[in-house]
Structure 1
Amino acid sequence: MRDKDKKVLIFGGTTEGRELASALLRAGVSHVVSVATDYGKEIENSCGEDNVIVGRKDADEMAKLISDEGVTVCVDATHPFATLVSGEIKKACEKSGVEYLRLLRDTGARALPAAEAYSSVEAAADELEKTEGNILLLTGSKDLKAIVSRISDVSRVYARVLPNLESITKCEEAGLKGKQIIAMQGPFSKDMNIALIKEIGASVILTKESGAAGGLDEKLFAAKECGIKAVMIKSPESVITSEGHSLTEILDKVGVKDIEAGIERKIITLAGIGPGDSRYYTRELEEALKKADVIFGAKSILERVDKSGIKAHFEPLYMGKDILEFLEKRGLGEDSARSGFHEGLVESGFHGREAKASYSEYKHPLALFSGDISLCSGAKSAAVIFGKAGYEVHKISGISSIALFANRLGLGLEDCDVVSAHGRKCNVTGYIVGSKKLIVLPSSCAHAGQIARAAQSENREAAVLAMPGEVGEAIRTPLRIVLGYELGTEAERVFEVTENELGNDIFSPDEKGKCLLFIENRSAGESPVIRGIPDDEFIRGKTPMTKEEVRAISIRKLGLSSDSVLYDVGAGTGSVSVEAALLHPDIKVYSIERNDEAIDLLEKNKEKFGADSINIIKGEAPAALEELPAPTHAFIGGSGGNLKAIIEQLKKKNENVRIVINCVTLETLTETLSLIKEMNFAEPDIVQLSASRYKKVGDYHMPDAINPVYIITL
């Protein structure tokens, strides 16, 4: 229930401030608007607002206004960059004991072209100084002097400002004159921005992160179309965590319902259409299809939709950013998207007339995705995009192809592992090794065939992936591989593929249908939970190898997790790389080695053990590390005399990288300890390992000592 005695004071001068005032006016809520200048008052009056107070005020003056007007709630709807004013408003509210609410502007990223963003005016101006050619300032007059003072050649600077005396005076004070001062009042469409860029021959624009309401979209799209650079000053509300509220949240806090305020919510529904035809529609989806006025989806999905009883327009778009752009353009007209936003007044926050909210002509948009939106679906990224754009996102789950496949096979999903290799790099072979029952989502039918062939090939080489009776004696159970093709459609096929059939292409390379794989590996449970590969199982040459006992402790000290990125520097035969890679299919290993013979051994051991997640890098560290993804862990078994440079490179790529170093010689130990002190590492973990293996000699078992090794963890 709304309090009839409640009175709202809006510190405005912005689009969002006027939208709030208009909503309160429609709802019959008592309010007053405070703006800084007479020009701002004219704009408010032109929007139908009569109760306007003019003048810049400090905290004490604001507190007096609050008291004189009997204000109970104060809304700060000033420009996002007006941080000093916001500070005064907060002080006035604290002094008066009234509630302070911050109305946030949507400056969140939509599907916009890239811009070089800086946290301060000074940093952005310094970037402009580095550029060549003319500069177009689209930031208003407030910070002109600070910006222009950092540009050595002022003659190449042009500024678009409001057509009033105050703005033009600030331009002249900054050193601009004549044609360098472009005094215009918005709104400014993308085409108007393009025309201005071409007129002055600009090579770079400067804008503020002022959101859609500040014409940011039109500026960035114009710069992109003209092929010039865009520099942006970040909004304080994105640089500093701001506590604030949206327009609808503010209205809710003052007891106004959307319908009373004439506010129309932007809503979109994201729905899973299921695995096949309309037999697998959920009741909720059927209702959404009937209600929708526009339906989005990939062409293949839209073709599957049962059109009976549906009056919606069909649009073959499936990327969230493309759907959003379509809806936004339909809301504002194809040729003047967001032309209602008056960017030219951004620095003061004033607009020539009230800007209408950009609601699409479509009130019930529906985006369709195959299967269930909770699994490997574009709905995930679409939901984020629409959420940032201020949409209320409704989600409808569908029947997943995985559930239907399990049903066809008579499986319980609780007994299966599921892995997606759809559109992403994935060590499927590693999952097959550790899973008794595995369902795989491939990228295509051809990809499914590749996975099946690779799985059987690795299974044939699986001497160490099952527990051998004796060293080198493989125990292998053939894999069972079943393919599910076009599930839920008239073309559905579920068939088992034998090892002999895998020699041929199961599908043509151009096959467009959807496919799933079920792989049963009855030997999976026979592999030890904690692996340990005997030295004799590795293919070896004359290349040194980290011994089994040393590997065990070194890998334990690394403390790898499933999402680790490990550098094995001086990888040798690859014994550490292989053991690390086999811990979990998602661990990414980069084996760095400069020796040709060692590279050959690395390749052979990678293939033998099915360690597909190993990436072999030929080269010498640290140079070979330059282009690699940042490591979470690093093992240094050999440094080639470059230990300091290697550690510096590792720390540069990730300050928190965990490093394990094996020191065999006293020289390496001494160098490592010196570097620890020099580079201010925390207290290291140091273990000295001496181990002996016993061999039978005649009637006795004699020790065969392994070289002592220091294992140092940083």
Structure 2
Amino acid sequence: MIPVQVVGLGMSPADLTQRAKEIIREAQVLVGGRRLLDYFPEHRSMKIPLGKDPEGTLKQLPALAETKRVVVLASGDPNFYGVGPLVVKVLGAESVVIHPNLTAIQTACARLRMPWQDATVISLHGRSWDPLAAVLGQPGPLLIYTDPAHPPGEIARFLLARGLSQARFCVLEDLGHEAERITWMSLAEAQEREFSPMNLVVVVPEPGEASPRRPQLHLGLPEAALVHQAGLITKAEVRAVVLAKLALGPGQILWDVGAGCGSVGLEASLLIPGGKIFAVERHPERAAQIAANRDHFGVDNLEVVCAPAPECLAPLPDPHRVFVGGGGPEIGAITQEAVRRLGPEGRVVVTAALLETLEAARTALQQAGWEVEVVQLQVSRSHPLAGGTALQALNPVWIVTGFLRGGPAA
């Protein structure tokens, strides 16, 4: 197999070294995004666009590279938020040669005369808002790779909602091209403007805004920390056991059905980085409380679904975990839908304060052929009494956990 060459174009072909130009000129197969392939309209090689399934496309290359010189084109530097690691993963390191080039970050900092060794660099390309939320409050400039779902205007709105109203905001458009434009503006101005799809954002917080003040989300939040309807909240001690039984992990999708004020889903967000929570609540006033609590703590991977279950579950993506904290007479149907949509490694956890709810959940799980574990949790909390301390019992709660035989047990 002839080694596959991965060539970084920098900002444009003008940034190519003489050696890189020769490699591209001698290529018999050119692979890359359509924009990159369009740089070489006169090239007479076979051209393969990297579309929505880049990994699938790259898997075709070993056969071609048996007899042909294959070159994969990359924007910027192939190994910096680029295609390089994917090519190595698919083809193997011994079959790949990578040729580096300038990144948009280097070019932007050069244009702005800004040192970048202390900058924080993140990419929102094809990602959620989590990477941006995670770095708010860090000192120094913030350099952001964008995409159509996270354009500069939306980034500005995201920052304004989190108290960074005075930050300096720069959009660098079409770097390395004739239409290159660099604009400093306020966040308020940025949220109202349109920009070239080829852009990079630089955010420089004002010193007083370097650490936006936001309540810290943590496991075991006291009930008073959350907006909720009197009594309709999963108590902190119950939440701790529920989260343990769910056995959450990175990248998972969690349905929180009958979410109430969202207490379980909010704390679960800490345990599934890169994942997503769908908080399902049929009552509009409680759904509004979930949204208020989510925004209060700055949780960006929780979506509120205000609709009755199980009907509203159909369009949701298949879950890895399901928590059912409410559902009334529909608890059996909700549990049935959960087990139907969960994979073989899935888990469903149901809390029940009523014997009827306990029995409906157990029956639905057993009829589906799932293993069932039931834990009764009786919590008592201390309170002052007659100059001393006494314990006051809360209502007992059953925690029902379902998983397939041979699946993961907590």
TM range (shorter): 0.7 to 0.9
Q: CA deviation at 1:283?
A: 6.4
1:608 correspondence with 2:296: yes
Task: Find out whether 1:660 has 2:349 as its counterpart.
Answer: yes
| 8 Å CA contact 2:323, 2:350 repeated in 1 | yes
1:503 maps to 188
Rounded to whole Å, the distance in 2 between the matches of 1:686 and 1:619 is 29
Asked if the contact 2:278–2:303 (Cα under 8 Å) also holds between the matched residues in 1, the reply is yes
Aligned counterparts of 1:680 and 1:321: Cα–Cα separation in 2: 38
Residue by residue, what CA displacement relative to the aligned partner does 1:209-241 show, whole Å, maximum 9, x if unpaired? xxxxxxxxxxxxxxxxxxxxxxxxxxxxxxxxx
- Aligned partners of 1:558, 1:636: CA distance in 2, in Å? 11
Matches of 2:339 and 2:89 in 1, distance apart? 33
- Give the residue type in structure 2 aligned to 1:504: E
Mapping 1:617-696, distance limit 5 Å: 617-653=305-341, 654-674=343-363, 678-682=367-371, 684=373, 686-694=375-383
What are the ranges of 5 or more consecutive residues in structure 2 without an aligned counterpart?
55-62, 403-410
Per the alignment, residue 253 of structure 2 pairs with 565
In structure 1, give the amino acid aligned to 2:16.
Y
Cα distance 1:643–1:508, how it changes in 2: closer, same or farther (>3 A)? closer
The equivalent of 1:372 in structure 2 is 77
Q: Give me the identity figure in percent.
A: 25
2:133 matches 1:430: yes
TM-score by length of 1: 0.45
Give the distance between the partners of 1:661 and 1:395, measured in 2 at CA: 51
Alpha carbons of structure 1 residues 284 and 565: separation in structure 2 relative to 1, 3 Å: farther
Q: How far apart, in 2, do the equivalents of 1:435 and 1:599 lie?
A: 32
Q: Which residue of 2 aligns with 1:398?
A: 101
In the TM superposition, what whole-angstrom CA distance separates every residue of 1:652-711 from its partner, at most 9, and x where no partner exists? 2123212222122233334445555555443626251313153x6796666554322233
CA contact under 8 A between 1:301 and 1:369: conserved in structure 2? yes
In structure 1, what is the Cα distance between the partners aligned to 2:37 and 2:369? 61
The answer to whether structure 1 residue 271 and structure 2 residue 7 are counterparts is yes
Distance in 2, matches of 1:613 and 1:519, equals 25
Q: Which runs of 5+ in 1 are unaligned?
A: 1-264, 324-357, 461-476
1:285 is aligned, of 6, 12, 20, to 20
Q: Which SS does the other structure have where 1:604 is aligned?
A: helix
Residues 445/591 of structure 1: CA separation in 2 closer, same or farther (3 Å cut): closer
Amino acid at match of 2:326: G
Amino acid at match of 2:163: N
Judge conservation of contact 1:543–1:597 (CA < 8 Å) in 2.
no
Give the aligned partner of residue 440 of structure 1.
Answer: 144
Residue 310 of structure 2 contacts residue 330 of structure 2 at CA under 8 Å; is this kept in 1?
A: yes
Q: How many angstroms apart in 1 are the aligned matches of 2:390 and 2:192? A: 60
Q: Aligned to 1:514, which of 193, 199, 205?
A: 199
The 5 A counterparts of 1:165-314 are 269-275=5-11, 278=14, 280-281=15-16, 285-292=20-27, 301=36, 312-313=43-44
Contact 2:137 2:212 in 1 (8 A): yes
Q: Which amino acid aligns with 2:275?
A: I
Distance 1:314 1:496 in 2: 42
**Residues 320 and 382, structure 1, Cα contact 8 Å, conserved in 2:** no
Structure that is richer in helix per residue: 1
What residue number does 2:226 align with? 538
One-letter amino acid of the structure 1 residue matched with residue 352 of structure 2: C
With over 3 angstroms needed to count, the CA separation of the structure-2 counterparts of 1:539 and 1:663, relative to structure 1, is same
* Alignment size in residue pairs: 384
**Contact 1:429 1:612 (C-alpha < 8 Å) held by counterparts:** no
Give 2:50's aligned residue. 319
Between the aligned partners of 1:658 and 1:434, the Cα distance in structure 2 is 36
Q: Structure 1 counterpart of 2:373, which letter?
A: P
Greater C-alpha radius of gyration: 1
Mapping of 1:328-407 within 5 angstroms?
364=69, 366-377=71-82, 395-402=98-105, 404=107
One-letter amino acid of the structure 2 residue matched with residue 515 of structure 1: L
Change over 3 Å in CA distance of 1:567–1:412 after alignment to 2: same
In structure 1, how many angstroms separate the alpha carbons of the residues matched to 2:313 and 2:24?
52
The AA in structure 2 aligned to 1:618 is C
- Tell me if the contact between 1:267 and 1:363 (Cα under 8 Å) persists in the aligned partners: no
Instruction: Give the whole-Å Cα distance in 2 for the aligned partners of 1:490 and 1:507.
Output: 25
After superposition, the C-alpha distances for 1:41-83 in whole angstroms (9 at most, x for unaligned) are xxxxxxxxxxxxxxxxxxxxxxxxxxxxxxxxxxxxxxxxxxx
Counterpart Cα distance in 1 of 2:368 and 2:13: 64
**Shift of residue 636, structure 1, vs aligned partner:** 1.2
Alpha-carbon separation, structure 2, partners of 1:665 and 1:445: 44
Cα 1:490/1:412, change in 2 over 3 Å: farther
Q: Could you tell me the TM-score, scaled by structure 2's length? A: 0.73
- Give me the whole-angstrom Cα distance separating, in 1, the residues matched to 2:24 and 2:179: 24
- Letter of the 1:370 partner, please give it: S
Q: Deviations over 1:414-438 (max 9, x none)?
A: x8463x3224554455334586675
Amino acid at match of 2:347: R
1:289 partner amino acid: I
3-state SS of paired residue (2:328)? coil
The answer on whether the counterparts of 1:427 and 1:612 sit within 8 Å (CA) in structure 2 is yes
CA contact (8 A) 2:378 2:394 kept: no
- Higher mean alpha-carbon deviation, 637-646 vs 362-371, is at 362-371
Residue 712 of structure 1 pairs with residue 397 of structure 2: no
Cα distance in structure 1, aligned partners of 2:133 and 2:195 = 27
Structural RMSD (CA)? 4.5
Please point out which of 256, 262, 265 is paired with 1:577: 265
